[in-house]
């Protein structure tokens, strides 16, 4: 089942990250997952391309002091964050078309750009890609705007692992592909530029 179950997510993280500190979510929508993450991580960053969604979430999540909301295309924001966060990150990748939301017409499926940016890092991150039920299905989707084509058809656990390159273990749980990344020599020892 899709969604974010805090206890199950914690059990998937335990053993790989001693103290998961930072989480980055792509796709805020109502902020449900953002709120759950805020109780688990020191700092949570969530990105959405839709102005109305970021505005509503800013109000709905105003009580959460460790949450940072960014308005932008995750295909561009994730590469910036990947370079500037100098500690392990839980990447929760869930940006795609959704009714009532918005989408980048130039790049309607930001996942591959996100994965490339994370692949270039050297930290023992965890990557979760949501909605495995849609993988391999070019026909999947809910009332896409005319002319918008997402690329679910080429998506699989194997394709994600290959794209990330430095995966030490992967599995599917809770409708997500979960990839544990290798711990490579660190070029920096500070937290964030
Ligand atoms: C499935 S919903 C996210 C659900 C949310 N993560 C949760 O667990 O409740 C997908 C969201 O992705 C956003 N989105 C679509 N394309 C995006 C992009 N290129 N960059 C950032 N957000 C995007 C949509 O506006 C929508 O709010």
Domain residue ranges in the chain: 6-181
Q: Residue whose CA is closest, atom 7 of ligand 1?
A: 33
Q: Residue whose CA is closest, atom 14 of ligand 1?
A: 95
How many distinct helices (H) and strands (E) make up the chain?
6, 7
How far apart, in Å, are the Cα atoms of 129 and each of 12, 146, 186? 13, 25, 25
Instruction: Please state the atom number of ligand 1 nearest to the C-alpha of residue 30.
Output: 9
Q: For the domain 6-181, what is the CATH code?
A: 3.40.50.150
Q: Is 134 helix (H, G, I), strand (E, B) or coil?
A: helix
Q: Is the CB of 76 under 6 A from ligand 1?
A: no
Instruction: Please state the atom number of ligand 1 nearest to the C-alpha of residue 32.
Output: 9
Q: Is the CB of 75 under 6 A from ligand 1?
A: yes
User: 28 C-alpha to center of ligand 1: Å?
Assistant: 5
Q: Is the CB of 104 under 6 A from ligand 1?
A: yes
pLDDT tens, N- to C-terminus, the chain (193 residues) = 578 888 888 888 887 766 668 999 999 999 999 999 999 999 999 999 999 999 999 999 999 999 999 999 999 999 999 999 999 999 999 998 877 677 777 778 899 999 999 999 999 999 999 999 999 987 776 677 777 777 889 999 999 999 999 999 999 999 999 999 987 766 554 555 5
- Separation between Cα atoms, residue 14 and residue 113, nearest integer Å: 27
């Amino acid at each position: 089942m899709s969604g974010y179950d805090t206890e199950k997510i914690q059990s998937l993280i335990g053993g790989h990250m001693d103290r998961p500190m930072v989480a980055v979510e792509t796709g805020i929508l109502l902020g449900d997952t953002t709120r759950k993450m805020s109780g688990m991580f020191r700092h949570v960053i969530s990105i959405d391309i839709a102005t109305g969604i970021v505005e509503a979430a800013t109000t709905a999540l105003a009580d959460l002091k460790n949450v940072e909301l960014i308005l932008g295309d995750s295909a561009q924001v994730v590469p910036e964050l990947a370079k500037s966060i100098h500690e392990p990150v839980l990447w929760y990748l869930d940006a795609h078309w959704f009714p009532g939301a918005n989408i980048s017409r130039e790049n309607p499926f930001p996942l591959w750009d996100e994965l490339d940016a994370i692949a270039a890092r050297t930290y023992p991150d965890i990557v979760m890609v949501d909605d495995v039920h849609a993988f391999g299905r070019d026909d999947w989707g809910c009332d896409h705007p005319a002319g918008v084509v997402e690329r679910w058809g080429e998506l699989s656990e194997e394709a994600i692992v290959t794209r990330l390159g430095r995966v030490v273990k992967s599995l599917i749980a809770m409708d997500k592909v979960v990839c544990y990344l290798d711990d490579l020599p660190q070029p920096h020892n500070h937290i964030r530029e």
